[in-house]
Amino acid sequence: MTDQPVSNEPHTRRRDPEARPHQILDAAFHEFGNRGLAGARLDDIAKRAGVAKGTIYLYFPNKEALFREMVRTTIGQAIADAEARSADARPDDTAEALLRQLGAGWWTFLRQERVMVLHHLVNAELRQFPDLMAFYAEEVIARGRRLVSGIIARGVQRGEFRAVEPLVAARMYSALWLSHATWVNNRELHPTLGSDEHVLDEMLDFYLNALRPVAA
């Protein structure tokens, strides 16, 4: 999934009504990223989007609805794409190959600016919004872990991986990728990190070796 960097300039008004939800979402990413979920105002989002405040209500009744759509169109769509690829896996595809494919795609996706904005909001503020926390827990965390655990269970069943609990292993997978995505976006705090490609190779090597059966 590709994503364009969020511009620092307010969007110009677009005449196409079909473009307005995207226009509003672009502005919301800016304002939420700069001011947080609690501090962002619909007035400022409307101003940045170049629309009247009332126009926002035609598509999104409140900031919470905006946040949900931000999640659905970024992380939610990425998970849906990965689910489709996993469903299309051939019988002879190994679980390791599927994890490598998923890990490489997820590594690129997680370091995008919009995903980092959402990740920061989730960690910094979501506990103040119980409904949004429940939404994110189901639509992102649980769904992502089901996807990864399904691949791991495939590997366990075929003898590629040792007998691990798939959901636990999936949690370890997400923690490894998320923590390193945060670190490479703050390299001044982690100067010993290698290139992005090198970090990906390190994670895959570490994780897959942890799953492989112990030699007799």
| Residue 131's CATH number | 1.10.357.10
User: Other CB atoms closer than 10 Å to residue 19's CB: what's the count?
Assistant: 12
pLDDT of 74 above 90: yes
The answer to whether position 178 is within a domain reads yes
Average pLDDT over residues 96-121: 94
Q: What is the pLDDT of residue 149?
A: 97
Say what the pTM is.
0.84
- For tokens 């798939």, what's the residue? 166
**Conformation bin of residue 129: beta by default, left when phi > 0, alpha when psi is -120 to 50:** beta
**Count of positions (residues) in the chain:** 216
Q: What is the pLDDT of residue 108?
A: 94
The answer to whether position 7 is within a domain reads no
The answer to whether position 28 is within a domain reads no
The answer to whether position 56 is within a domain reads no
Q: What is the pLDDT of residue 1?
A: 39
The answer to whether position 128 is within a domain reads yes
Average pLDDT taken over every residue of the chain: 90
Average pLDDT over residues 93-104: 96
Q: Pick from 143, 144, 145: which is nearest to 169 by CA? A: 145
Percent of the chain scoring above 70 in pLDDT = 92
pLDDT of 183 above 50: yes
Q: What is the pLDDT of residue 216?
A: 52
Number of domains composing the chain: 1
The answer to whether position 47 is within a domain reads no
pLDDT 10s digits, 186-198 = 889 898 999 999 9
The answer to whether position 46 is within a domain reads no
Average pLDDT over residues 68-80: 96
d(CA 15, CA 13): 7
pLDDT of 128 above 80: yes
d(CA 106, CA 180): 12
Average pLDDT over residues 59-72: 95
pLDDT band per the 50, 70, 90 thresholds, residue 5:
very low
pLDDT 10s digits, 35-48 = 999 999 999 999 99
pLDDT band per the 50, 70, 90 thresholds, residue 10:
very low
Task: Report which residue type is found at 40.
Answer: A
d(CA 141, CA 153): 18
The answer to whether position 145 is within a domain reads yes
Residue 159 belongs to domain spanning: 64-211
